[in-house]
Amino acid sequence: MQNLPEIRIISTRETESGELLVSCDVSDEFRVWFMKDQGLKRWSTKRFEKFFIEAMDNYLKNNDQ
């Protein structure tokens, strides 16, 4: 697995419907890497959310205890 620039989870909150809301802070280094990796000319929150959800799903599947 490659080392990615830093993403910090600032907070999490569960909604009444059971969804988990996650607030993140990403470094400038991560933004540059992400836009290059995704072929973007500007930041896309929607694309980041999709990337983050897939990464968390993969992590949880591979680290199921």
CA dist list (Å): 63 to 4, 18, 49, 59: 19, 22, 21, 6
Is 11 within a domain? Answer: yes
Is 46 within a domain? Answer: yes
Q: Is the pTM higher than 0.85?
A: no
Q: Is the pLDDT of residue 1 over 70?
A: no
Is 50 within a domain? Answer: yes
Tens digits of residue pLDDT in 31-64 = 999 999 999 999 999 999 999 999 889 988 988 7
Is 30 within a domain? Answer: yes
The number of domains in the chain is 1
- Residue numbers of the domain that contains 30: 7-62
Contact 27, 6 (CB under 8 A): yes
Is 2 within a domain? Answer: no
